[in-house]
């Protein structure tokens, strides 16, 4: 029991140190309504493209450059990450129900405003297209140094990257057709 408490305190200390270094402002502490909208809509877009999970008001916010930033997330444990109705889901749905504040904010943002935020964000994220195993492998190696071993196979990673790139490309293509 004691070891778990110490581990949690160390993780919380590291998290706070990271927050301070990049001057991270959590969604729950953002007062500017436009900044809140940007964070929520961009996080929702990445939620759809990358299959992110475990987003909450405390790990989603803005960094010192006023860019949306997500700390401490999970990737969904599913076989296929392709989203066939991603544009429709993005424009018209709200799959963030477990994040109360974000869900409330997203519900109040119409399709046109969501589309404008995405048009601004997608070009900034073009590195998704060139993402390789090296990025994930370096993160896995870093986790191993800290005693964290993930049960992931090479095929899982390659399949994930393939699907994420297709999600990104299909969404960008859909915007070009509008």
> What CATH number is associated with residue 168?
1.10.1070
Q: What is the pTM of this model?
A: 0.80
Domain that holds residue 113: 2-177
For 163, the enclosing helix (H) or strand (E) is helix 154-177
In this prediction, residues 129-144 reach a mean pLDDT of 82
pLDDT digits 0-9 by tens, 3-47: 444 455 655 656 666 666 678 888 888 999 999 999 999 999 998
Other CB atoms within 10 A of residue 47 CB: 22
pLDDT digits 0-9 by tens, 162-176: 999 999 999 999 888
pLDDT digits 0-9 by tens, 40-96: 999 999 989 998 888 878 888 888 888 898 877 878 777 667 777 888 888 888 887
pLDDT value for 125 = 93
pLDDT value for 112 = 94
Q: Classify residue 76 as left (phi > 0), alpha (psi -120 to 50) or beta.
A: beta
- The count of domains in the chain is 1
103 or 72, which is more confident: 103
């Amino acid at each position: 029991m004691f070891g778990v408490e110490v581990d949690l305190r160390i993780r919380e200390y590291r998290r706070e140190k990271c927050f301070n270094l990049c001057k991270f402002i959590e969604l729950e502490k953002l007062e500017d309504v436009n900044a809140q909208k940007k964070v929520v809509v961009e996080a929702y877009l990445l939620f759809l493209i990358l299959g992110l999970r475990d987003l909450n008001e405390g790990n989603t916010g803005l960094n010192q450059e006023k860019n949306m930033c997500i700390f401490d997330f999970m990737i969904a444990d599913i076989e296929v990450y392709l989203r066939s109705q991603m544009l429709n889901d993005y424009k018209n749905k709200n799959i963030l129900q477990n994040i109360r504040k974000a869900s409330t904010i997203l519900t109040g943002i119409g399709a046109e405003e969501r589309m404008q935020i995405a048009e601004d964000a997608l070009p900034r994220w073009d590195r998704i297209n060139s993402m390789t195993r090296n990025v994930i492998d370096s993160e896995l190696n870093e986790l191993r140094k800290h005693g964290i071993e993930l049960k992931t196979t090479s095929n899982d990673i390659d399949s994930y990257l393939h699907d994420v790139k297709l999600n990104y490309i299909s969404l960008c293509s859909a915007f070009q057709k509008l």
